[in-house]
Chain A
C-alpha cells in the first residue's frame, strides 16, 4: 500500500488501477448512503479521484488513505445534496432549511464503510496463502476443515492456528491498525 501510493505518485497507472479497485467500493457505498442518483455518484466520484491525484504527493502516511477518501467523499456528497436542495427550493419556493433525509446518512455507517475499505486494503497485503485460507473459510461455511485441508494441501490440525495467525496479521496491517487506533480514540472500543 505504501508502495501503491508512492508508485501512483510516480505515474504508475497499474498502481492507480489497484488503488481504484481497492477503494472504489468505499467511494461508491458512501454515495449510496447519501442516496445519490447514479449521475450524482459519478460527479462525486470524479471530484474525489481527481482530488486524490492531486493529494498523492501530500499523502505521506498511506494508512490515512481510507480516512482521507471517506472524508473527501462525504464532503462531496454533502455538496451535491446541498446543491440539489437549493434547486428544489428554487422550484418550489420553499425554505432552503427544509429537512432533507439525504443529509441524515448515519455517521456510524460511514465509519463502517471506512472499516471495510481498511479491511480490503489489509486483506490485499496478506500472503496468497492467507488470502486463500480466509477466502475458503468465508466462501464456504459448509466446507469442512477436511475439505479445506485437501484444497490447500494443509494438515487439518494446522487450519485453526493458521486462521488465527492470518487474522492476527490482518490486524497488524497498517490500514486496519490505523482504523482501530482511530476507532479507539473515537471511543468505539
Chain B
C-alpha cells in the first residue's frame, strides 16, 4: 500500500480514496471477544483496590508442556496473589469453584465488565461457587472488615 514512488501518493485524491477504502473495509473483522476485553480493561483499570495478580494459570502451564500430556483433560486452575490474600479459582464444567485464603468469612463480589456485580457467599473456610461461568471478562473483589478491598487481575476465560 505504501508506495515507493518519489512523489507523495497521498496528495493524489484517487490514491487517498483507495487507501481510505482499505482502511474502512479491513480484510478481517475484529472478533467480538477481542473488543469486549478492550472495553473491560477500562472498567477494570478504574477500580480502586489493591491488586491480586495472576500467579499461576494451568492453561499456560499446559502449553509449555504441549503435546506431552495435552490430551489429559484437566480443569483450568488459576491463582491470584496479593500480599496478604490469595484467590484460587477452578473452572469446572458447570461454573467456577474457588477459595479465598486465608479465610476471613464474609463475601466476595463478582464484578462483570458491563458494570454489574453479584455477591458471592463465602463458606467459613473461604470456599465459593459461581454458576454459570461468566462469558464476559470479569474480576473478583474481596473486602476486608476494615473496608480495604483487594481485586484480582482482569479474568478472561
Which A positions have Cβ atoms within 8 angstroms of B?
Answer: 8, 11, 13, 16-17, 20-21, 24-25, 27-29, 32, 38, 41-42, 45-46, 49-50, 52-54, 87, 90-91, 108, 111-112, 115-117, 119-120, 123, 134-135, 137-138, 163-164, 167, 170-171, 180, 183-184, 188-189
Contact = CB atoms under 8 A, between A and B. Distances in A.
Interface size class of B (residues with CB under 8 A): 35 or more
A119 B23 contact: yes
Contacts of A50: 41, 44-45, 154
16 contacts: A8-B42, A13-B39, A13-B42, A16-B39, A25-B26, A45-B34, A49-B41, A50-B41, A53-B46, A108-B2, A119-B20, A120-B23, A123-B24, A138-B21, A138-B24, A189-B7
A52 B42 CA distance: 9
B83 interface: no
Nearest to A11: B46
B42 A53 contact: yes
A189 B38 CA distance: 34
B23 A116 contact: yes
Contact of A49 (B19, B20, B38): B38
A13 B24 contact: no
Interface string B105-123: 0000000000000000000
A91 B19 contact: no
Nearest to B27: A29
B38 A24 contact: yes
A120 B26 CA distance: 11
A22 to B, nearest CB: 11
Taking chain A's interface residues, is the majority helix, strand, or loop, or is none over half, making it mixed?
helix
B73 interface: no
A183 B68 CA distance: 48
Contacts of A137: 17
B19 A119 contact: yes
B96 interface: no
Interface stretch (B8-16, B86-94, B128-136, B143-151): B8-16
Contacts of B156: 42, 46
B22 interface: yes
B35 A20 contact: yes
B102 interface: no
Contacts of A49: 37-38, 41-42
B20 to A, nearest CB: 5
A113 to B, nearest CB: 9
Given A42-B33, A87-B64, A53 B45 contact: yes
